[in-house]
């Protein structure tokens, strides 16, 4: 999730945790000089470790088993069930934090959508998940391509009119009367073709050609039927030519109500489609959705839905939009979204949680998600998510019922919510017992020991956290807790070593913040500056001290204690960090260099490479876009555009940009991009010689040894692949040659 889902009752859990009020004088520009042996009290004022959050995700005990079962079902299930299976797969990957796989699952749901409504939902969801691509809309347009999931669906095409409007078999009264009939509305008279009007619906046929008295009348009064003379004239014209093209929108609404009242299905459908074609904005959608639901106009309702969903998250701030989804009954929702009600509220609740996890809107959407869950997996997910929100809102009784329901449905992770609720009530032993029971009954997972550690002290807590780290090294809470505990025992170096354990393979803002404070305690201001600059690279608006102080302000204050580097110093430091694979140090140096007058395009590009290596794709894309903006030449800009396209899945377009750049100037980066894009976009092993040749061309162009060392690695890798497939001596020699050259660079 994009928003932080804070742990409940962290204040209660840490009665002696930091109170940053004593340190807030830094906001007045005073950086305290910490002693070499800081007291426990001063450390506690700097470091606080909140309880780990109970995440609103589907977290099965055995991910492999669940994913394997989904895969099997996808191969054998009916077509109408596939999109829901991909949605479940998405939720599993969401619990794992696998963003790329999440999007791939959404893509699968969109591609295999059985109804136009599912197509609308998953298309809008993909658009929401790929909001960063809106920043490169001009680039995609220049390539003559727009992602298919961004294109609105032609709803009218996917919802054909299939109502039998024939009047065959109806009882008729073949009286010798005029072929015309005159309808009076007030003082107005509208002359209509009796036969054509009778064909509009069974009620009209019975009235005009059946055994009612009106069948013998040449004049019929319609003044009490809520239709205006202009509306009736338009209906008459439609009965003759079957078109409503020239009818203004206000009359269309009037005709829609009239057609629905008199069961004029063909007229209603034409009106429905004409109104749907006029929906182009949120205001249109909000205004027309009420009519669509009241009159059961499926095409209009789906068109309004598409406009609203494609405007997320913006339209979530409009109470009128929220009211539509919250108060629509099941029948109205079926008109709006067909069988995709659960998928709709899955999407809406996720967007709302990202905006504000504890809002009334989020709670309402999740209540509807529970209401429309169709099977056990959907129900346990909905119950757990709503339980997390109730816990966050301190609605403890409701949260307990929801977590119990999720556990009974088979979601073991919801036990963590029950344990947290018991702890809030003061029953720490019961919480410990619940987690112990889970650990003894199923395959142990890291989160189980992490959660149980909250309900014990001393050595038992330390042991549980060590076990949690062994089972799941990616959990950040155990490292943070151990580092904070070591600081309280005045063992700053051990604390630093502990927090470095996770920062060596997982970049976490919270862990960087703790390390910043540890470096301050050691009066290592250069290292502290490095950490806060890295934080600002990832999130320029990040705030520290529980959100009380802007990280940018701390950066300014710490920088006063660090000697300024020249541009040459920065390049030397960057080279050292890059060679030592110190990605955080490299990010810090680049941050400093970007504040100077150095060429920014190449710096932002280097920054993007580091961020990708640290698994920060969103920040990397921001850096690439800035590199494009600050490119110093046309061929350089084309390279950055190529990487932007490549990283967003547009491989062929990225390859084309590389070729355009090479046509202007043969450069290392252009050849490297072309080789990389070609290797990744082609599944044909025979492309390996071409890739190797391109990498060799790259090596002939000017560049620094750091990038060339990377190319030697790729060159050798492809040579190995090609050698394995074809067994040629030439490639064996190439491997040996490249390994030697790489070793020279390393030395």
Cβ burial 337-374 (10 Å sphere, 16+ → b, else e): bbebbbbbbbbbbbbbbbbebbbebbbbbbbbbbebbe
Contact status, residue 396 vs residue 8, Cβ threshold 8 Å: no
pLDDT in tens, 711-720: 555 555 555 5
427-481: pLDDT as tens digits: 999 999 999 999 999 999 999 999 999 999 999 999 999 999 999 999 999 999 9
CB 383, CB 406: distance < 8 Å: yes
Contact residues for 396 (Cβ-Cβ < 8 A; gap 6+): 390, 421, 424, 425
pTM of the model: 0.83
Q: Are residues 188 and 257 in the same domain?
A: yes
pLDDT the model gives residue 618: 86
Helix (H, G, I), strand (E, B) or coil at 42: helix
Which residue do the tokens 């997910």 mark? Answer: 381
Q: Based on the fold, state whether residues 470 and 577 are members of the same structural domain.
A: no
Residue-range definition of the domain harbouring residue 88:
63-151
Q: What is the mean pLDDT of residues 638-654?
A: 88
Of 515, 544, 560, the one marking the end of a domain is: 560
The structure tokens 């015309």 sit at: 180
HEC string for 162-184: CCCCCCCCCCCCCCCCCCEEEEE
- Residues paired with residue 192 on neighbouring β-strands, in sequence order: 181
- 531 and 590 assigned to the same domain: no
Domain boundary among 527, 560, 593: 560
Residues 239 and 281 placed together within one structural domain of the fold: yes
Q: Which range is least confidently modeled, 7-21, 511-525, 612-626?
A: 7-21
Decide which of 532 and 699 is more confident: 532
- Tell me: do 401 and 550 sit in the same domain: yes
Residue located via tokens 């939720």: 91
Residues 519 and 578 in one domain: no
Q: What is the pLDDT of residues 396-434, one digit of tens each?
A: 999 999 999 999 999 999 999 999 999 999 999 999 999
700 in the same domain as 656 = yes
> Is position 473 within any domain?
yes
Cis peptide before 313 (omega within 30 of 0): yes
Strand partners, 543: 550
Same domain, 497 and 533: yes
Which of 102, 136, 151 lies at the terminal end of a domain, its last residue?
151
Q: Kindly state whether residues 119 and 257 are assigned to the same domain.
A: no
CATH number, domain with residue 623: 1.25.40.10
Q: Are residues 588 and 538 in the same domain?
A: no
Structural domains in the chain (count)? 4
Both 607 and 545 in a single domain? no
Nearest to 369 by CA among 378, 357, 359: 378
DSSP 52: P
35 falls within a domain: no
Strands 219-221 and 180-185: parallel
DSSP 222: -
> Any idea what the CATH number is for the domain that residue 275 is in?
3.30.710.10
| Residues 515 and 379 both lie in one domain | yes
**706 or 622, which is more confident?**
622
């Amino acid at each position: 999730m994009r928003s932080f889902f804070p742990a409940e009752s962290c204040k209660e859990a840490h009665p002696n945790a930091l109170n940053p009020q004593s340190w807030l004088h830094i906001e007045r520009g005073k950086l305290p000089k910490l002693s070499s042996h800081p007291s426990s009290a001063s450390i506690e004022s700097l470091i606080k470790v909140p309880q780990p959050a109970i995440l609103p995700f589907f977290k099965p005990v055995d991910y492999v088993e669940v994913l394997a079962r989904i895969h099997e079902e996808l191969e054998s299930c009916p077509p109408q069930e596939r999109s829901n299976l991909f949605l479940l797969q998405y939720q599993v990957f969401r619990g794992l934090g696998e963003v790329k796989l999440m999007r791939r699952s959404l893509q699968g749901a969109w591609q295999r959508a059985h109804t136009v409504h599912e197509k609308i939902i998953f298309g809008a969801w993909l658009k929401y998940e790929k909001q960063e691509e809106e920043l490169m809309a001009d680039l995609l347009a220049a390539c003559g391509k727009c992602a298919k999931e961004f294109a609105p669906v032609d709803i009218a095409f996917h919802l054909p009119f299939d109502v039998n409007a024939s009047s065959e078999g109806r009882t008729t009264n073949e009286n010798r009367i005029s072929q015309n009939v005159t309808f009076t509305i007030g003082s107005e008279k509208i002359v209509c073709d009796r036969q054509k009007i009778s064909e509009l619906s069974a009620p009209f046929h019975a009235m005009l050609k059946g055994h009612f008295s009106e069948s013998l009348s040449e004049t019929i009064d319609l003044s009490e039927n809520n239709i205006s003379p202009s509306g009736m004239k338009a209906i008459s014209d439609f009965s003759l030519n079957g078109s409503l093209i020239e009818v203004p929108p206000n009359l269309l609404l009037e005709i829609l109500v009239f057609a629905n009242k008199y069961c004029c299905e063909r007229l209603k459908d034409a009106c429905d489609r004409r109104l749907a074609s006029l929906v182009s904005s949120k205001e249109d959608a909000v205004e027309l959705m009420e009519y669509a639901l009241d009159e059961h106009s499926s095409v209009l309702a789906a068109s309004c839905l598409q406009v609203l969903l494609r405007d997320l998250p913006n339209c979530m701030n409009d109470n009128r939009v929220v009211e539509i989804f919250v108060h629509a009954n099941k029948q109205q929702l079926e008109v709006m979204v067909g069988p995709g009600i659960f998928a709709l509220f899955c999407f809406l609740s996720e967007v709302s949680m990202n905006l504000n996890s504890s809002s009334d809107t989020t709670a309402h959407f999740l209540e509807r998600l529970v209401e429309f869950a169709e099977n056990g997996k959907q129900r346990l997910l909905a119950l757990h998510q709503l339980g997390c929100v109730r816990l966050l809102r301190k609605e403890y009784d409701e949260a307990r019922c929801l977590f119990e329901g999720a556990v009974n449905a088979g979601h073991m992770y919801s036990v963590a919510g029950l344990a947290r609720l018991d702890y809030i009530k003061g029953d720490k032993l019961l919480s410990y017992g619940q987690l112990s029971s889970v650990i003894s009954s199923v395959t142990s997972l890291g989160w189980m020991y992490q959660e149980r550690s909250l309900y014990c002290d001393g050595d038992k807590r330390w042991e549980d956290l060590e076990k949690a780290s062994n089972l799941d090294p990616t959990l950040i809470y155990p490292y943070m807790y151990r580092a904070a505990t070591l600081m309280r025992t005045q063992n700053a170096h051990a604390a630093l070593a502990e927090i470095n354990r996770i920062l060596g393979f997982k970049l976490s803002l919270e862990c960087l913040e703790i390390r910043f404070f540890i470096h301050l305690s050691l009066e290592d201001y250069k290292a502290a500056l490095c950490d806060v600059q890295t934080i600002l690279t990832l999130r320029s608006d990040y705030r520290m001290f529980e959100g009380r102080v802007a990280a940018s302000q701390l950066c300014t204050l710490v920088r006063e204690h660090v000697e300024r580097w020249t541009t040459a110093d920065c390049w030397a430091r960057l080279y050292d960090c890059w060679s030592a694979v110190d990605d955080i140090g490299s990010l810090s140096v680049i941050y400093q260099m970007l504040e100077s007058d150095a060429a920014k395009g190449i710096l932002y590009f280097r920054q993007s490479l580091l961020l990708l290596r640290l698994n920060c794709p969103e920040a990397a894309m921001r850096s690439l876009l800035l590199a494009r903006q600050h490119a110093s030449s046309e061929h350089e800009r084309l390279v950055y555009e190529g990487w932007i396209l490549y990283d967003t899945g547009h491989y062929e377009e990225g390859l084309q940009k590389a070729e355009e750049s090479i046509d202007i100037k043969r450069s290392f980066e252009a050849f490297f991009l072309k080789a990389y894009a070609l290797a990744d976009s082609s599944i044909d092993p025979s492309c390996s010689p071409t890739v190797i040749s391109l990498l060799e061309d790259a090596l002939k162009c000017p560049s620094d040894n750091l990038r060339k060392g990377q190319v030697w690695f790729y060159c050798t890798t492809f040579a190995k692949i090609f050698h394995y497939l074809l067994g040629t001596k030439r490639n064996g020699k190439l491997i040996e040659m490249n390994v030697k050259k790489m070793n020279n660079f390393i030395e």
